[in-house]
Structure 1
Amino acid sequence: MANLINFTKGHGTGNDFVLFLDSDGEIKLTAAQIAKICDRHFGIGADGLIRVIKSEALPEGAAVLDEEPNATWFMDYYNADGSTAEMCGNGTRVFARYLTEKGLIELHDGETLSIGTRAGVKDLQRNMAGFAIDMGRWKLEGESLVKASNLEVSRPGLGINLGNPHVVVALAEPEELANLDLTRKPAIEPEPVKGANVEFVVPSDPMVKDGVGSIQMRVYERGVGETLSCGTGIVAAALATRHWAGAGAPNQWTVRVPGGTLGVRMFAAEDGEHVGLSGAAELVYDGQIDISNL
């Protein structure tokens, strides 16, 4: 195995990733090595690492190809602490940008790109903002209590599953959101077996304008900490807010996070309601790292 890896740094609304090409699955990184790469002081620095690999080159890809033979590329995603993650909404858009800009695929306007993830096949298309991804079906899960630093009492949290787990908490006003201390991990009771991302949400005033809902959000990501944006968390926050709002709530939302604003759309599909996420994805720079030093 070569010690030098060519990598690309990318981000989606400030949610940043290190990507590298390993088509045939020849590069094996340990969790400790991944954590070192993602370390912002001793490594490159990122919220997660994405190995760009052919679906046929890893075991999880077999199920993907059975579901969609055109999903030839797999987003092998890891959190900043080196742990494996099922999905990353912002990561999928940056992954699509990487595939197209590096000449690994061609994606014309109106065409669909299918990619493999540990949460199944995800479909993306280009749009004016960057890329739009069909996140597929979602699940409403149980309620819990969430305690976070600078919140005087625990708050109810609503479980939303998008292939990875989320707990969404509604706050009363923007000041509560701004005063949250997310340098510490929020406590969830009962604690999910595999943990969860925790989203804190405040509706805009007015919450709905011209048929579009609007909220702002901060997120503590499982295995990472607070991030500037979280794609699946943004979707979970919009779904939870619509659920709380009840009948007549819109199916289109804008969600503002510290890293920018993304769009969420709920729509009917043959197998039930799907939810989509759209927003920018950028590649920032290329580099090379010697993994023998990790």
Structure 2
Amino acid sequence: MTSARTFVKGHGTGNDFLLYADPDGESPLSDSEVAAIADRHTGIGADGVIRAVRTAAEPDAADQVAEAEWFMDYRNADGSIAQMCGNGLRVYVAYLEREGLLELEDGATTTIATRAGTLTVHKELDEYAADMGLWSAPGGEAALAEGFDVTVALAGLDEPRPGLRIDMPNPHTVIALADLDLLEQVDLSVAPRLEPEPEDGMNVEVVVPLGEREVEVVDEDGAVVGTERVGVVKMRVHERGVGETLSCGTGACAAAVATRQWFGDGAPDDWVVLVPGGQLRVVMLDGGGVELSGPADLVGEITLLD
């Protein structure tokens, strides 16, 4: 079952994963096995487990065989299935490279199959930029205009706060707070309570918008060629099936999308999202797409014993 299986530990800004190769789809893990391996006290410990399987060998990817060779089978730490994971997607591509399952030169792009559809990942030196697909608001234009469509009770705060639901396509609810002291005050070891309550759970991002700043733009040779305006937001996250994590890729995208909506007309398309595990860059693309870029670090190899 899980004996003698080797995993690679990786993370993207502290959002950590255990990855293993199952090219022919012969060794999927059960929900309970994933939960046991991801347990931080009695297992190896991770926010999620990622299985590398060819699309041709995975029923969930049957409609993506012509577009991508590899499917990212992502499970949350409790064993539940997630559509995809932004930080995990970058780490997954780095893992495929390490294992010799994918060759990706600097500046090149690959396509990966996920439960959210096929997504492209572009390699940029030691970082990766992933096209995260289209975002949507379950509450529609009315929710976007109002700025919220649910109420969220957060442990550590004395009253519920309004939140805006954003699908990436993982479900997220973003709550804005007035200052960094309140952000630190929130206790995300306790699952936030939403009204109305979602049927399939919810990822919750608590954010403090920090305004805008000018950053330098450099060319391929490293020379500064100008500046651009970016928005900045600081974020903490409670992931469904996991708890508080140091980072969340789709959550960072949802936080940037929601904050941009709150800023209104003239808000920047580029965002820096500060998370406890580091920094991510989110760019709004034409047509409602979102690009997420950041590091992908592989830190060790672990073999399970009997």
SS in 2 for 1:135: strand
Cα gap change, 1:214/1:120 in structure 2, threshold over 3 Å: closer, same or farther? same
Match in the other structure for 1:209: 213
Aligned sequence identity (%): 52
Q: Is residue 246 from structure 1 mapped to residue 264 from structure 2 by the alignment?
A: yes
Match in the other structure for 2:121: 124
Cα gap change, 1:250/1:126 in structure 2, threshold over 3 Å: closer, same or farther? same
Distance 2:96 2:117 in 1: 18
Cα gap change, 1:72/1:151 in structure 2, threshold over 3 Å: closer, same or farther? same
Match in the other structure for 2:275: 257
The answer to whether the 8 Å contact 2:67/2:118 transfers is: no
Match in the other structure for 1:180: 186
Q: How does 1:27-176 map to 2 (within 5 A)?
A: 27-65=27-65, 69-128=66-125, 130-142=127-139, 143-176=149-182
User: What letter corresponds to residue 255 of structure 2 in structure 1?
Assistant: A
The answer to whether the 8 Å contact 2:28/2:51 transfers is: no
Specify which of 286, 289, 297 is matched with residue 274 of structure 1.
289
Distance 2:244 2:63 in 1: 32
**1:58 to partner: Cα distance:** 1.2
TM-score scaled by length of structure 2: 0.90
Distance 1:108 1:28 in 2: 30
The answer to whether the 8 Å contact 1:13/1:280 transfers is: yes
**1:28 to partner: Cα distance:** 3.0
Distance 2:2 2:13 in 1: 32
Match in the other structure for 2:298: 283
The answer to whether the 8 Å contact 1:170/1:202 transfers is: yes
TM-score scaled by length of structure 1: 0.94
Q: Deviations over 1:190-244 (max 9, x none)?
A: 111211100000011xx01121000100000010000000000000000000000
Match in the other structure for 1:197: 203
Q: Which structure 1 residue ranges, 4+ long, deviate > 4 Å from structure 2?
A: none
The answer to whether the 8 Å contact 2:236/2:276 transfers is: yes
Where structure 2 has 5 or more consecutive residues not aligned to the other structure, the ranges are 140-148, 215-228
Q: CA RMSD in A?
A: 1.2
User: What letter corresponds to residue 250 of structure 1 in structure 2?
Assistant: P
Match in the other structure for 1:22: 22
SS in 1 for 2:237: strand
Distance 2:150 2:194 in 1: 7
Q: Deviations over 1:244-293 (max 9, x none)?
A: 0100000000000000000000011xxx2211000000001012114xx5
**Stretch deviating more after TM superposition (26-35 or 39-48):** 26-35
* Alignment length (residue pairs): 283
**1:186 to partner: Cα distance:** 0.2
SS in 1 for 2:50: strand
**1:141 to partner: Cα distance:** 2.2
Distance 1:186 1:41 in 2: 24
SS in 2 for 1:60: helix
Where structure 1 has 5 or more consecutive residues not aligned to the other structure, the ranges are none
**1:101 to partner: Cα distance:** 1.6
Distance 1:141 1:77 in 2: 23
The answer to whether the 8 Å contact 1:140/1:161 transfers is: yes
The answer to whether the 8 Å contact 1:112/1:123 transfers is: yes
The answer to whether the 8 Å contact 1:160/1:236 transfers is: yes
Distance 1:102 1:25 in 2: 16
